[in-house]
Amino acid sequence: MRLESFVRGSWMSPGQELAEIRSAVTSDVVAEVASGGLDMGEVLAYARQVGGPNLRRLTFHQRAELLKALAIYLSERKEQLYKISYQTGTTRSDNFIDVDGGIGTLFVYASKGRRELPNTTFLIDGAVEPLSKGGSFVGQHVMAPMHGVAVHINAFNFPCWGMLEKLAPAILAGVPVVTKPATITSYVAHALVRMIAESRILPEGALQCIIGSTGDLFDHLTCQDVVSFTGSADTAQKLQRHPVIARESVRFIAERDSLNAAILAPDAVPGTPEFDLFIKEVAKEMTVKAGQKCTAIRRAIAPNTHVPAVIEALRERLSRVTVGNPELENVRMGPVVGLGQRRDVLAQVAKLRSEADIVVGDPENFAVEGADRERGAFIPPLLLHCPDPIRATNVHSVEAFGPVCTVMGYDGLDQGIALANRGDGSLVASIYTYDPAVASDLVFGVGAFHGRLVLIDRDCAKEQTGHGSPMPHMVHGGPGRAGGGEELGGMRGVHHYMQRTALQGSPAMLSRVTQSWIKGAPMVQEGRHPFRYHFEDLAIGQTFISKERTITLEDIEHFAAFTGDTFYAHMSEEATKDHPFFPGRVAHGYLLLSFAAGLFVDPDLGPVLANYGLDSLRFIKPVQPGETIKVRLTAKSKSPRNEQYGEVRWDVEITTDKDETVATYDLLTMNAVRP
């Protein structure tokens, strides 16, 4: 199989220099890659001129629907990806992580895009900032898609997940993608891209894929582009030093080598659920994907008193791991990705052995099921023990990217924290304790050095997703050695591909530009009650100002009796004497909201289908018996949902008859579209 690049809407393989890709299991040639021959300037220009405009004309909800449709399409074809992936050395359960995990990320971003983003092409970021005394000059931050390309350079270990977890937030943001898979597993990524291209779900130019060398790609980058890299620290540093990256201030997101840690707390003694969970997780992270995970546990840190029990428990668990042909059902761990990778892992193990001893596993003598040990890139699980981790250096700086982990002991929690932080920045650390005080000390002791912390105990044991599984909802990345970047993290990942711009101007102008009414902008008060307008007919700024209502002592006492809310501030004049907030008995805040609704609601059957919540509620001034309130209701913004209804956000302000603000909030309604 000769692999082609998918660029400018077609498959191309102009290069003449062929490189062979061999099976991790048998060392047979499974694919050929031709490098060179692509005009990288034209590849990026096609993304900017075709893919970018095609995506930016869509709303966030429309892009989310594309991601959902793509996830469904790939789900129906994932068995094909499983079959191809076996040659990379992955078992079926490994493929669940790579293939299903990648597809699952598409589903999550599709869902979050619909639920958390407006049905617009840009975002309003934060509240309006008053910039003048009289209110005629204000500020508002907005975010819009960058007019460039998302260049994604992926590692070999997750050819599907690595591509899709980067693709989802970029497409949702409205930025086209040029993806570059690692060559050694590029035949899996190639199959995935071919599926996506054949689906015709994404707009033209939204996705291109470069197989082989990137050539002079970086020479054509601009300040509007984003580079997201996953791989070794050496390669990341080389790319970050590219003169165009510095000159153009190209956004560079790196996820690099990481000496992740699992920390066993002193209270997690042998026999406790937390000790057993620690053993299970360390063994799993050593063997899943043959330890070839950027999040795998490389350092198992335990109290010195627990170290012998940790080693014996891991020895017993790892002895049950069957190494061999990943297509066999009884095989738990396949080979590393290739013979070159095996040589590299063993070379790194040799460095670790200068400070640590192998206590489980023998790289020269182990059984392989259903395959030739010499032809395949097989390594057994190797557990090392470092007796003096305080003085050691290699165990905190050398990563053997395979089924390798080093156990090290500590005396006292401060020493354990110091050891965890010796990795100089990692993607993840997991903590095993049932003591909240210990957990707190560990979290804030190591948190600055780790991008993610997983607190695993008996309460979450059945549902926790594991040390090594980045979730699309949570940030994936870490400081220092881990690269200093962030991916995923829900909408945080989308924001990486958008430019935040500060707008300053009059409320009237900014309201029109942002399509969101700002206090001080003109209000539309003529015509019908705002609730009488269908979604598309309702004007931003349409306002209703209610009649007045005087709050009585009887209102307050009736509300207290009816709801059961007899808080002293509402019931006792004596109790509020010398109170820092209340000048005497005051009305319930929720009484004011209820009365406000009664003042502004239009009761007849009509376009308003439902009130489904309120945001940003603030009670500003207490109201005493005898005071009078009124309400201003203004259509703030609109977001289409489907063919039947759209979301309307209303700016609500409760004031006294003296125009003192009592409370403010955003009311959310679903309004029917015109039949």
Alpha carbon 2 to chain centroid, angstroms: 34
**Could you tell me what percentage of the chain is helix, strand and coil, using 3-state DSSP and rounding each to the nearest 5?**
35, 25, 40
In DSSP terms, 358 is beta-bridged to 384
CA-nearest of 292, 345, 287, 288 to 318 is 287
Torsion of CA 51, 53, 56, 57, to 10 degrees: -120
CA-nearest of 378, 208, 384, 196 to 282 is 384
Distance CA 130, CA 19 (A): 61
Residue 307 three-state SS? helix
CB 294 within 8 A of CB 258: yes
Alpha carbon 569 to chain centroid, angstroms: 44
CA-nearest of 67, 108, 70 to 472 is 108
- The alpha carbons of the chain give a radius of gyration, in whole angstroms, of 30
CA–CA distance from 20 to each of 12, 34, 84 (Å)? Answer: 18, 9, 16
Question: What's the one-letter identity of residue 319?
Answer: S
Torsion of CA 557, 563, 567, 572, to 10 degrees: 10
CB 486 within 8 A of CB 281: no
The angle at the Cα of 620, spanning 617 to 625, to the nearest 5 degrees, equals 110
Distance CA 551, CA 624 (A): 7
Distance CA 261, CA 276 (A): 16
Q: Which of 165, 255, 274, 486 is catalytic?
A: 255
Q: Which of 160, 209, 294, 386 is catalytic?
A: 294
Whether 294 sits among the annotated catalytic residues: the reply is yes
Task: State the DSSP string of 51-62.
Answer: IHHHHHTS-HHH
Distance CA 592, CA 588 (A): 7
| Tokens describing residue 542 | 């349409």
Whether 160 sits among the annotated catalytic residues: the reply is no
CB 657 within 8 A of CB 631: no
Active site residues: 255, 294
